[in-house]
Amino acid sequence: MAISSYAAVSISKTLMKTSTSIPRLPIQNHLNTRSTILKPKPSLASIFRSHTPKPLTSNTYQHNQIKSLFTGIVEEMGQVKQLGFDESGESFDMVIHSPTVLQDVNLGDSIAVNGTCLTVTEFDTQRLEFKAGLAPETLRKTSLIELEKGSVVNLERAVKPSTRMGGHFVQGHVDGTGEIVSMEPVGDSLWIKVKTSPEVLKFIVPKGFIAVDGTSLTVVKVFDEEECFNFMMVEYTQQEVVIPLKKVGQKVNLEVDILGKYVEKLLSSGFMDTIKTR
């Protein structure tokens, strides 16, 4: 019997509406038996120690496609429930408890975890957990390699066209990591100083934006000789993000303002010379 195009569309829409319930049964089983599926986390640092990161230049970004966009306004702090390699030993997965960001989640959605854009591969709305895979390059280049079971992480869903831009444009493409060198309370504020590589520091300017573990912050001062910069967090922000929970010596993910990268690319391409000759 032939099916009209209208009926076919109706069936398709019905399937789409019920699709989110399909993964729950197998996902429930996966999460309940997670300890048998995910192997204990080995020394990831030793696995990737031989990797030499590429220099951070404007050319690094020319092939990146902006698939998701964030604001750097953290929605909630989630907790890592499980993490480790699967049975094949090739896929490194992480399960995060996150009541807020799962309110309208779909498979394939992008969620920034400590400023790193990750893809939802499984979720369970009853257990309020989602799973995301981490590629070797992600572990090499970000501070996620330091996470363990019980760690708290910043979470933010990708923005929608109707979302207010409360922070700044954050892609979730971590440019590098920094090391916390000092944390000094001043009144109810917290001043934090971070050391990073010269390749990242050259894009950081006083009063400019920077995403630290996915949190949109304003740079106060840059210390070129020390290869450091600092920023200040007010009391409210301290209670809403994970940075104050870290200690001196720990790493943070850094993503510099995309505008700085575009400016460097224009200058290095000879664009200004072209304008002068006109």
224-273 pLDDT tens trace: 999 999 999 999 999 999 999 999 999 999 999 888 888 888 888 776 66
Most confident of 13-17, 51-55, 104-108, 225-229: 225-229
End-to-end Cα separation, the chain, in angstroms = 70
* DSSP annotation of 51: -
119 in active site: yes
97 in active site: no
Q: Is 60 exposed, middle or buried (0-12, 13-18, 19+ CB in 10 A)?
A: middle
Gap between the Cα atoms of 9 and 14, Å rounded: 9
Q: What is the mean pLDDT of the chain?
A: 80
Mean pLDDT of 126-130: 95
Which residues, including other chains, have CB under 8 Å from residue 151's CB and lie 6 or more apart? Answer: 79, 80
Residue reference for tokens 């996902």: 27
pLDDT given for residue 276 in this prediction: 65
| Positions of E strands within the chain | 76-85, 92-97, 110-113, 116-124, 129-134, 152-157, 176-186, 189-195, 209-212, 215-223, 228-233, 251-256
Residue reference for tokens 């409210």: 236
70 in active site: yes
Mean pLDDT of 108-117: 96
Determine which one of 117, 132, 211, 228 is catalytic. Answer: 117
135 in active site: yes
pLDDT given for residue 168 in this prediction: 81
- pLDDT > 90: percent of the chain: 56
Determine which one of 12, 33, 57, 218 is catalytic. Answer: 218
pLDDT given for residue 270 in this prediction: 73
Determine which one of 70, 92, 130, 231 is catalytic. Answer: 70
Gap between the Cα atoms of 61 and 164, Å rounded: 26
Q: Is 140 exposed, middle or buried (0-12, 13-18, 19+ CB in 10 A)?
A: middle
173 in active site: yes
* Token code pair at residue 212: 């630290």
Which residues, including other chains, have CB under 8 Å from residue 197's CB and lie 6 or more apart? Answer: 56, 176, 227
Q: How many CA atoms lie within 13 A of 125 on its CB side?
A: 11
pLDDT at 42 over 70: no
Query: Is 13 or 144 the better-scoring residue by pLDDT?
Result: 144
pLDDT given for residue 49 in this prediction: 40
Determine which one of 20, 58, 68, 119 is catalytic. Answer: 119
Most confident of 128-142, 165-179, 212-226: 212-226
Per-residue confidence at 56, pLDDT binned at 50, 70, 90? Answer: very low
Most confident of 5-9, 44-48, 50-54, 125-129: 125-129
**Phi and psi at residue 234, to the nearest 5°:** -75, 170
Is residue 118 within 8 A of residue 112, CB to CB? The reply is yes
88 in active site: no
Q: How many CA atoms lie within 13 A of 38 on its CB side?
A: 24
Per-residue confidence at 88, pLDDT binned at 50, 70, 90? Answer: confident
pLDDT given for residue 87 in this prediction: 75
Q: Any bridge partners for residue 155, and if so which?
A: 76, 113
Determine which one of 7, 8, 45, 135 is catalytic. Answer: 135
169 in active site: no
pLDDT at 34 over 60: no
Determine which one of 58, 121, 173, 237 is catalytic. Answer: 173
pLDDT in tens, 152-202: 999 999 987 766 777 788 889 999 999 999 999 999 999 999 999 999 999
